[in-house]
Amino acid sequence: MLDHMSRIAICGECHGAGVLQYDRGPAVERCPRCLGIGLTFADGSRAARDFLELLTAPTGPELAQLGEGGALRALALLAARLEERCERLERELDQLR
């Protein structure tokens, strides 16, 4: 069983909201630590697998703290990171040819 707290955690900066609110300046801005998803991942190379295990676990207290759209935000970030890794690999393969 996956120990979710060791690999995926609620962001300590925004407490799962994905945004920071201020009394002065911009009223709301995306959290720079978690990039707006409310979760942090310990290992970027297996973040998608860890997230899948979190989604399919019998209990997922981390997901409940994210609020509406939290899981979708996390999935979008993981997909973007995967896309970036694929692009890097394609460039490296092109250089090797």
Q: Which two tokens stand for residue 46?
A: 């297996």
Average predicted confidence (pLDDT) for the chain: 81
Residue pair 4/49 in contact (Cβ under 8 Å)? The answer is no
At residue 61, the pLDDT reads 65
Answer whether residue 64 shows pLDDT above 80: no
pTM, 2 dp:
0.66
Whether the Cβ atoms of residue 54 and residue 8 lie closer than 8 Å to each other: yes
Q: Tell me: the pLDDT tens digits for 20-51?
A: 987 776 778 999 999 888 888 888 888 888 88
Strand partners, 20: 29
User: What pLDDT does 3 receive?
Assistant: 43
**Which residues on neighbouring strands pair with residue 28, listed in sequence order?**
21
Mean pLDDT of 83-89: 93
